[in-house]
Amino acid sequence: MEKVRVLVVDDSALVRKLLSTMLACDPAIEVVGTAADPYIAREKIKQLEPDVLTLDVEMPRMDGITFLENLMRLRPTPVVMVSSLTQEGADVTLRALEQGAVDFFPKPTSDLASTFASGAEEICAKVKAAARARPRQRTAVQRLDVPPRLSADAVLPRVQAAGSRGGSPIIALGASTGGTEAIRVVLEAMPPDAPPIVITQHIPAAFSGPFAARMDHCSAMRVCEAHDGQPIQQGHAYIAPGGQHLLVMWDGARHVCRLHDGPQVNRHKPSVDVLFRSMAASAGRATVAALLTGMGDDGARGLLELKQAGARTLVQDEESSVVWGMPGAAWKLGAADDMLPLDQIARRLLALAHQPIGSAAA
């Protein structure tokens, strides 16, 4: 079995040691080297030819963003950013994703050893997904043993589909790895009076607020982090807060956002399956949903439930996805009516939303 070769780049000797030890525990990963700054990293990339880099943001002599820009221009390599859980760290990490980083792992500001240890499964999975995001195919790698995972039943039981309460369309999006950029592409193409959009992106709590603010700057729609009880309105997009599930509920007069602090579903919180199941129950045929790039299969069963409830559904195609896990799983389940490249998804969502509810997809 070919191992994923990783170079760890961080100016902290402690972080380099902790990350290296954690990654080396996975039999499918080999840490081929470490580097204390981008100049050392540049030489080691030439010597060692790693498959994936973990990259710190704040480093001496050259910051991580500048190094990432140079790397993507001269020698594109999958990168997982390691960024502090602060407002500034979140903003910089989102910029890194715009520059081509595949994913990120939040670096704690204290108690590094125990926090890194608890995130070992997550960082290993992110590194292996980043390796698979390369254009060339890689040998399948062995997964770590993981705890049992819960379905959407743990948060919201499946109920009879709602038909089309409210009569107005709502767009629902789900994404994970590569999703922050995919969501940006979709939102940038939306007009200011677009139907309301609800979004679940797998993201830590410290990053969801800055992500929503960043999307608000680049979209003609008003984009915000969802709040409990918030009415869902035309021209607005609502992003699930990290660490809480986002549900859409009918309160008797209108659709509203509901936040749920339940267990992880498919090992994620927020979970796309939870959002999609709530949409099937509360909006049914009035829903237009898309599952975008992401590792794993969260959202695949929820998209199928939406389709069975009469919603119009689609997925991002493999070529334009960073990782075709979630959309690929949904496509194999028969959960999507259509599969499109990312740059066509916004136009298709709008066209479907403007069709009479219950009509066949064109």
Supply 243's token pair. Answer: 């660490």
Q: CA torsion sign, 224 to 230 to 235 to 240?
A: positive
Q: Which residues contact 1 (CB under 8 A, 6 or more apart)?
A: 28, 139, 141, 142
Supply 275's token pair. Answer: 């959002």
Q: Which residues of 77-92 are buried (b: 16+ CB within 10 A; e: fewer)?
A: bbbbbbbbbeeebbbb
Active site annotation includes 202:
yes
Active site annotation includes 176:
yes
Supply 34's token pair. Answer: 């470490």
* Catalytic, out of 298, 317, 320, 321: 298
* Catalytic, out of 10, 20, 164, 202: 202
d(CA 25, CA 20): 9
* Catalytic, out of 20, 84, 164, 176: 176
Of 166, 115, 127, 135, give the one whose Cα is nearest residue 26. 127
Active site annotation includes 354:
no
For residues 304 and 274, the answer to whether their CB atoms sit within 8 Å is no
Catalytic positions are 176, 202, 298
